[in-house]
């Protein structure tokens, strides 16, 4: 059984916690029911860049997100966001989060590799493939 990754660094704000794991993955834990707006998306970048200085594989645990607005989705697919993210695994768990994830990848088409998962461990394994 693989060991759980340790936390190297973390930051919190009212909307999410971000952690850099010792396996090199940057993980975002949004609060349940979050309605992710463009200003919050900008904080994702700002707070992530307080922890890392180059793009990292990013694990977004979005099982309980309620909504992501159009401007936030566009930001997460932008060149600016790629300062933080080299690949993204979106972990969904509810019909709402699956729709949000599919909407993001279907409409915004990020320039970095991305994939939607139901299982956080499988998502992390996929991201680790980019680190080796």
For 27-40, write each residue's pLDDT tens digit: 999 999 999 999 99
Q: Region 44-67: what's the mean pLDDT?
A: 91
Tell whether the model's pLDDT for residue 99 goes beyond 80: no
Q: Region 79-92: what's the mean pLDDT?
A: 91
pTM, two decimal places: 0.86
The predicted structure's pLDDT at residue 109: 67
Query: Which tokens go with 18?
Result: 């971000």
Q: Which helix (H) or strand (E) holds 15?
A: none
Query: According to the CATH classification, is domain 7-128 in 3.40.970.30?
Result: yes
d(CA 123, CA 109): 19
**Mean of the per-residue pLDDT values of the chain:** 87
Q: Region 43-56: what's the mean pLDDT?
A: 93
Q: Region 97-104: what's the mean pLDDT?
A: 62
Tell whether the model's pLDDT for residue 106 goes beyond 70: no
Q: Count, in order, helices (H) and strands (E) of the chain.
A: 4, 8
For residue 33, count CB atoms less than 10 angstroms from its CB and return exposed for 0-12, middle for 13-18, buried for 19 or more: exposed
Query: Which tokens go with 114?
Result: 């991305």
The predicted structure's pLDDT at residue 74: 87
* CA Rg value for the chain: 13
Tell whether the model's pLDDT for residue 94 goes beyond 80: no
Nearest Cα neighbor of 19 from 48, 42, 46 is: 48
**Residue extents of the structural domains in the chain:** 7-128
């Amino acid at each position: 059984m693989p060991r759980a990754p340790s936390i190297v660094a973390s930051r919190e704000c009212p909307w999410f916690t971000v952690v850099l794991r010792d396996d090199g993955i940057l993980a975002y834990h949004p609060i349940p029911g979050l309605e992710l707006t463009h200003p919050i998306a900008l904080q994702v970048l700002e707070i992530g860049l307080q922890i890392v200085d180059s793009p990292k594989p990013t694990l977004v645990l979005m099982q309980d997100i309620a909504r992501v607005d159009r401007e936030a989705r566009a930001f997460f697919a932008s060149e600016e966001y790629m300062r933080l993210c080299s690949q993204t695994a979106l972990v969904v768990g509810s019909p709402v989060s699956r729709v949000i994830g599919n909407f993001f990848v279907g409409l915004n088409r990020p320039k970095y590799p991305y994939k939607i998962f139901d299982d956080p461990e499988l998502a992390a394994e996929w991201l680790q493939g980019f680190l080796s």
